Each structure stands twice: as C-alpha cells, then as structure tokens.
Amino acid sequence: MEWIERRGQVLGTAALGLLMVGGYLGLVWAPPDVNQHDVMRIMYLHVPIAWDGELAFGVVFVASIMYLWKRDLKWDRLAAAAAELGVLFTALTVALGSIWARPVWGVWWTWDPKLTATAVLFIIYVGYLMLRLVAEDPVRRARQAAVVGIVGFLDVPLIHLSSQLWRGLHQGATFRVLQDPTLDDRMQVALIVNLVAFTVLFAFFLGQRLSLGRLEQRRDEILWEEAQRV
C-alpha cells in the first residue's frame, strides 16, 4: 500500500497526461457513432468512471475483510479511502448517465438497470461514510464499517440482477454500450485509453487519500497520548 503513496507524483503526472490523450482521442480522433452521433463521446467518460466506482467498492470489500482478519488499522484506512473515491465516482457515473440520457431519449432519467443499480450503490456507500462519521472510537468504527463494507458489496450482484429483472418487464431506454456491435475500432482504442487513464487517476487519488488517512491517524494518536498524560 505504501508504494502507491510514494509514487504520487508519477501517478499524478501520468494520469494527467493519459487523460489529455484520452480526451483528445475521445473528442476529436474517434468518429461519431452511427446512431447517437457525437453524443456517444460521453461513453469515453461514463464507462471508465463507472469502472472506477466498481473498482473502489471491490477495494472496500477486500480491505474490510482484511481488517476483520488482521485487525491492522491500515486496512481500515484503505477501506475508508476507497469508499470516498467510490462515492465520488458513482456520483459522477449517475450524473453522466443522466446527461447522456437526455439527448438520446429526451428524458433526464431513465430507469436503466445499470444506472439504477449505480444509484443504489451510491446511497449504500454514502451510508458507509455516514457511519464512519458518527462512530466514536477508531477501533469500533473500523469494525462496524467493515461489516457494512462487506454486506454492501455482497448486495451488488443482487442489485444488478433485480434492477434488470425489474426493467426487463418494461422494455425501454437502456444503455447497452459494450454489447454494441457498431463500436468502431477507433472507438475501442479511445475507450481503452480512457479506461487506463481513469484507472491511473484512481490509483493516484487512492495514494493521496491514504496519505491523508495516515496523517489523520497520527494526529489522533498524538492527541490520545496527550489525553493519557494529563
């Protein structure tokens, strides 16, 4: 975990560079879509950001299990950092989904199964962060958060499944981007570059957020020592 923190500068610069390249590829180089024309370019943001959100929650899940197993607070720090990133990226995913839906279907919201599932996921992890805010001592907080992190992640496949079944009965506006056979070669390249770019960005943010977590933990330790001495 420490190696991500230490490579901050490298990751940050790399992310910035890749995002610029990805932006160019997505906005200029890739051709417009046959059906959705230029609006399709939102995909080069939406798919990678959605992926970042899912990656984040996977990290929360693993870190939560590791904490309950090893009881080393560094895992709790990882879970907290990843959850914050997850909330950021799912919020952006939902916002982008809405912006994408408007020109394509004329509505600001469509009960697309994946978008609906992402919205629910967003709320689950906001709840996770709220729990961390009101919990009192760091060890108990880590324990309680870990349970929520695990249970929340276990719910993900069920949420996806149920949203799909729910919508399946009323066919309508859905994003079926990745199964779209009309995805041009150039579009695939642009998508992959943006995917890599946003993953590197994720790693960069994670490292920074972990540093912050470590500083906060040290501050708490110092204050605790002081309180003991008095």
Partner 1 sequence: MSDWSYVTLAYLVAWGGVTAYAVALARRVIAARRLEQRLRAALDMEARTAVEEPERRAGGNSTASGWTAEGE
Partner 2 sequence: MWADQVWAVLRKDVLLEARSRANVNAIVFFAGLVLLVFSFALGPNRAHLQTAAAGILWLALIFSGVLAFGRIYQIEAENGAFEGLLLVAQNRSAIYLGKMLGATVVMLLVEIVLVPLMAVLYDLDLSGGMPILLLACLLGTIGFAAVGALYGALTMSLRAREVLLPLLLLPVTVPILLGAVKATGVALNGGHGDLAVWIELLVAFDIVFVTAGLLTFEYAVGE
Compute the Cα dihedral for 136, 137, 140, 141 and give only its sign. Answer: positive
> Of the two residues 8 and 58, which places its CB atom closer to partner 1 in the complex?
8
Single out the segment in contact with partner 2 by CB under 8 A; choices: 16-24, 139-147, 188-196, 217-225: 139-147
Site for partner 2 in 56-95 (CB under 8 A): 68
Instruction: Choose which of 155, 183, 196, 214 interacts with partner 2 (CB under 8 A).
Output: 155
What is the C-alpha separation between 229 and 227, in angstroms, rounded? 5
Binding mask 200-229 for partner 1 (x = CB under 8 A): -x---x--xx-xx--xx-xx--xx--x---
Site for partner 2 in 159-178 (CB under 8 A): 159, 161-163, 165-166, 169
Q: Which of partner 1, partner 2, none does residue 151 bind (CB under 5 to 8 Å by kind)?
A: partner 2
Contacts of 60 (CB under 8 A, 6+ apart): 79, 82, 83, 86, 125, 128, 149, 152, 153
Can residue 28 be called a binding residue for partner 2 (CB under 8 A)? no
What is the C-alpha separation between 59 and 119, in angstroms, rounded? 19
Helix axes 113-134, 73-105, angle to 10 degrees: 150
Can residue 91 be called a binding residue for partner 1 (CB under 8 A)? yes
Binding mask 10-49 for partner 1 (x = CB under 8 A): ---------x---x---x---------xxx-xx--xx--x
- Residue 74 Rama label (left phi>0; alpha psi -120 to 50; beta): alpha
DSSP three-state, residue 33: strand
Q: Which two tokens stand for residue 18?
A: 């890749």
Residue 91's identity, in one-letter code, is A
Kindly state the smallest distance separating residue 143's Cβ from partner 2, in Å.
5
Single out the segment in contact with partner 2 by CB under 8 A; choices: 17-25, 128-136, 177-185, 209-217: 128-136
CB count in 10 Å sphere of residue 209: 21
DSSP three-state, residue 37: strand
Q: Which of partner 2, partner 1, none does residue 212 bind (CB under 5 to 8 Å by kind)?
A: partner 1
